[in-house]
């Protein structure tokens, strides 16, 4: 009759453990008690599952022939499982990187920019058009009389922007250019999202009417610049004002935005004009190269803050660092970050922030922001010396003029 009985209580399992330890293994303990080894082993496993301190079943190492404790086996199995999980995670990350490589916006350079520099080319000018806020109405009585804006003024300022750009590049500098970049930086419309109901209610025209008027105005602008410079490259991103959703969204943010529709309509209009090329990505950032320098065009609403004593700089420096880190991780760093949104014309190391066409409005006045005249960014990239000319395009005559060339205290 077997000496061992099926263990039930803690005491039973302790006696089982002592018996196994006495013989040195489950097999020898089972043989000494006239029992099947599998039965005793099943009791050991149940004791371990119940949390009792049961002796380990010993296994033989396949290479050395030595006995390996079951605890060691479990530890090795755990390590192997962890390594397998880490390998699976690494493979997923590698797959993600490959997907980014395949589907992210490819940095492309227009064929006309590849013109060999012969010493006569001044460079490639870039005009950043953003924050036109087409349809917004600025009441001068609400901003201290420093600005006024409506659709008629918007059209006049856009025309002045194009004419001044041509004058600066052709008449003042007398440069030679292979073409011009006209970047559409978003917020071309104003107040057309549910998140900007105040602006929508006080808009100067219905949405579709404003859309058609802006489409016509930009069609004229691009054609005029193509006639003057031979080629026009138009990269485009969307802003936050023309979105068709209540809140900013991540998925489908580009195609759910009137800025995207506008750019696509312009692309369709110029599809048979080889002088005009568009780059309209499905992401919130647009990448392109000019003379080997990579530009990241974005609207700028991804960056938050800017109300402290440092102004916009805390938000911009933090956002720029994050965006650059993201691009470096996938092997696509950029040299310049260009954006609108902030309505403060700024040139810094690797950073270009645009002004606006709408100029100083009720929101800026209420927030006590510094006065900013309506202006758009214009600069020239030299094939050798990078950014050589910074030519802000001001859209209104300054009310403060001076006839003094220079003064100093005596």
**What tens digit of pLDDT does each residue of 81-92 get?**
777 787 777 777
Rounded Cα gap, residues 312 and 376, in angstroms? 18
**What tens digit of pLDDT does each residue of 183-216 get?**
999 999 876 555 555 555 566 667 788 889 999 9
Residue 165 — very low, low, confident or very high, per pLDDT cuts 50/70/90? very high
Q: Please check the confidence at residue 277 and state whether its pLDDT lies above 50.
A: yes
| CATH of 10-71 given 1.10.3470, 1.10.287, 2.60.40, 1.10.10 | 1.10.10
In this prediction, residue 334 carries a pLDDT of 94
Q: Please check the confidence at residue 60 and state whether its pLDDT lies above 50.
A: no
Which of the residue ranges 76-85, 250-259, 396-405 has the most confident prediction, judged by mean pLDDT? 250-259
Q: Please check the confidence at residue 402 and state whether its pLDDT lies above 90.
A: no
- Of 63-67, 78-82, 159-163, 377-381, the range with the lowest mean pLDDT is 63-67
Q: Please check the confidence at residue 95 and state whether its pLDDT lies above 70.
A: no
Class of domain 111-394 as given by CATH: alpha beta
In this prediction, residue 82 carries a pLDDT of 78
SS3 308: coil
Rounded Cα gap, residues 382 and 372, in angstroms? 29
- Of 46-55, 149-158, 199-208, 323-332, the range with the lowest mean pLDDT is 199-208
In this prediction, residue 311 carries a pLDDT of 79
Give me the count of residues in the chain.
410
Domain regions of the chain by residue span: 10-71, 111-394
Task: Please list, in sequence order, all residues whose beta carbon lies within 8 angstroms of the beta carbon of residue 398, skipping any fewer than 6 positions away.
Answer: 373
Q: Please check the confidence at residue 315 and state whether its pLDDT lies above 80.
A: yes
Q: Please check the confidence at residue 284 and state whether its pLDDT lies above 90.
A: yes
311-343 as b/e, with b when 16 or more CB fall inside 10 Å?
bbebbbeebbeebbeebeeeebebebbbbbbbb
pTM score, whole prediction = 0.72
Higher-confidence residue of 103 and 382: namely 382
Q: Do domains 10-71 and 111-394 have the same CATH topology?
A: no
The predicted model gives 92-106 an average pLDDT of 60
- Spatial contact of 357 and 136, defined as CB atoms under 8 Å apart: no
């Amino acid at each position: 009759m077997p000496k061992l009985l099926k263990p039930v209580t803690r005491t039973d399992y302790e006696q089982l453990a002592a018996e196994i330890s006495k013989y040195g293994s489950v097999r020898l303990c089972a043989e000494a008690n006239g029992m099947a080894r599998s039965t005793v082993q099943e009791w050991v496993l149940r004791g371990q599952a119940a949390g009792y301190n049961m002796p380990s079943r010993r296994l033989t190492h396949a290479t050395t022939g030595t006995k390996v404790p079951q605890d060691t086996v479990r530890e090795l199995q755990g390590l192997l499982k962890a390594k397998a999980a880490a390998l699976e995670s690494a493979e997923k990350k590698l797959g993600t990187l490959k997907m980014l490589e395949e589907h992210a916006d490819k940095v492309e350079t227009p064929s006309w920019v590849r013109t060999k520099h012969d010493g006569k080319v001044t460079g490639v000018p870039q005009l950043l058009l953003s924050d036109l806020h087409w349809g917004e109405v600025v009441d001068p009585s609400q901003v201290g009389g420093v600005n006024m804006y409506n659709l008629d003024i918007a059209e006049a300022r856009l025309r002045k922007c194009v004419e001044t750009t041509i004058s600066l590049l052709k008449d003042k500098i007398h440069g030679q250019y292979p073409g011009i970049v006209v970047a559409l930086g978003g917020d071309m419309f104003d107040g057309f999202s549910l998140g900007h109901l105040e602006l929508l209610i006080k808009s100067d025209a219905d949405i579709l009417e404003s859309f058609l008027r802006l489409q016509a105005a930009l069609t004229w602008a691009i054609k005029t610049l193509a006639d003057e410079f031979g080629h026009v490259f138009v990269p485009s991103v969307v802003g936050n004002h023309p979105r068709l959703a209540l809140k900013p969204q991540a998925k489908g943010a580009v195609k759910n935005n009137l800025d995207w529709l506008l750019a696509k309509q312009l692309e369709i209009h110029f599809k048979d004009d080889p002088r005009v090329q568009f780059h309209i990505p499905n992401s919130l950032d647009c990448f392109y190269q000019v003379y080997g320098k990579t530009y990241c065009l974005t609207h700028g609403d991804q960056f938050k803050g800017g109300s402290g004593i440092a102004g916009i700089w805390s938000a911009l420096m933090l956002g720029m660092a994050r965006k650059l880190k993201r691009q470096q991780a996938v092997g696509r760093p950029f040299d310049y970050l260009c954006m609108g949104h902030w309505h403060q014309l700024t040139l810094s190391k690797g950073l270009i922030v645009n002004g606006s066409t709408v100029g100083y409005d009720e929101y800026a006045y209420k927030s006590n922001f510094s006065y900013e005249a309506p202006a758009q960014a214009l600069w020239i990239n030299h094939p050798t010396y990078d950014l050589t000319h910074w030519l802000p395009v001001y859209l209104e005559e300054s009310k403060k003029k001076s006839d003094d060339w220079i003064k100093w205290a005596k």
